[in-house]
């Protein structure tokens, strides 16, 4: 059978979000490349899937890419998953697809659509945004202020991911560049029972998040260690005139 690379979306906190097609592809694959094999094995166990797994994540380096390319060269069907959501969006899967298309153009690459934190956040943000710019995870140091100025000046909705450990600091810096009539929508754990959703002007949003941090600091710390789905999804847009 010809080599195939399947980018498979998996649930973000709610196992009912898995698609029938994703289950079939995960069962039929020769191997599943996982961001964290421990996380993925819990999903596979729940659905009684016994496909072998291999680790592929941000720290895999050149050897990680070589491992996947070797499997494809052997005409294996490789399914790629992140810990949650759609792989290839702000994770190593993006670079993997690029490398495969460049070095092995004969390999069939397919998207197995499903849960996406980005799409889910935009669908309930209420920003009236026919277009948006997605920044992925913010740079932690170099270029941060330049990016905030770009976001503040944009007429489009702007969306980025941020860690719970850095969300307050990020918004404190961002607020310096935003007009008071700007609207911010903040989401965490969007698709599970501990979801948090907030929509407010910049200063009010910051004030509420500071309050939440004070009341829930221990809980956030625990979640961030044990779950990859607590990242905040921030959507910003100017109020409609």
Residue 195: phi and psi, rounded to 5, are -60, 150
| Alpha carbons 159 and 184: distance in angstroms, whole number | 10
Based on its alpha-carbon atoms, the radius of gyration of the chain, rounded to whole angstroms, reads: 19
Output the pLDDT for position 130.
77
Q: Which residues in the chain land under pLDDT 50?
A: 214-231, 239-241
Non-local CB neighbours of 53 within 8 Å, separated by 6+ positions? 31, 32, 33, 34, 37, 40, 41, 44
Output the pLDDT for position 189.
66
| Alpha carbons 207 and 212: distance in angstroms, whole number | 9
Handedness of CA 146, 152, 156, 162 (dihedral sign): positive
Output the pLDDT for position 226.
30
Per DSSP, the residues of 39-99 read HHHHHHHHTT----EEE--TT-HHHHHHHHHHHHHTT-EEEEE-SSB-TTSSSTHHHHHHH
Non-local CB neighbours of 34 within 8 Å, separated by 6+ positions? 40, 41, 53, 54, 55, 56, 57, 81, 83
| Alpha carbons 211 and 214: distance in angstroms, whole number | 5
Q: Where are the domains of the chain?
A: 4-112, 117-238
| Alpha carbons 211 and 194: distance in angstroms, whole number | 17
Q: CA distances (Å), 159 to each of 32, 61, 131, 236, in order? A: 30, 28, 11, 7
Q: What's the CATH fold of domain 117-238?
A: 3.30.950
Q: What is the pTM of this model?
A: 0.80
Per DSSP, the residues of 23-43 read HHHHHH-SEEEES-HHHHHHH
Output the pLDDT for position 5.
97
Architecture of domain 4-112: 3-Layer(aba) Sandwich (3.40)
| Alpha carbons 176 and 45: distance in angstroms, whole number | 47
């Amino acid at each position: 059978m010809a080599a195939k690379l399947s980018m498979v979306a998996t649930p973000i906190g709610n196992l009912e979000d898995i698609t029938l097609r994703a289950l079939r592809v995960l069962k039929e694959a020769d191997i599943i490349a996982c961001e964290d094999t421990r996380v993925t094995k819990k999903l596979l166990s729940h659905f009684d899937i016994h496909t072998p797994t291999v680790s592929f994540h941000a720290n895999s380096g050149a050897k990680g890419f070589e491992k996947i390319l070797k499997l494809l060269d052997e005409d294996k069907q490789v399914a790629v998953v992140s810990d949650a959501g759609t792989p290839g969006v702000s994770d190593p899967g993006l670079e993997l697809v690029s490398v495969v298309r460049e070095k092995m153009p004969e390999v069939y690459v397919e998207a197995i659509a499903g849960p996406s934190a980005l799409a889910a956040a935009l669908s309930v943000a209420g920003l009236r945004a026919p277009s948006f710019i997605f920044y992925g995870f913010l740079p932690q140091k170099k270029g941060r202020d330049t990016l905030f100025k770009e976001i503040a000046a944009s007429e489009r909705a702007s969306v980025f991911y941020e860690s719970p450990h850095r969300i307050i600091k990020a918004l404190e810096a961002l607020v310096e560049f935003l007009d008071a009539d700007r609207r911010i929508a903040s989401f965490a754990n969007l698709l599970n029972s501990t979801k948090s959703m907030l929509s407010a002007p910049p200063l009010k949003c910051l004030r509420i998040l500071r309050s939440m941090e004070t009341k829930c600091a221990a809980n956030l710390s625990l979640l961030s260690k044990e779950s990859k789905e607590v990242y905040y999804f921030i959507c910003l847009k100017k109020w409609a005139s």
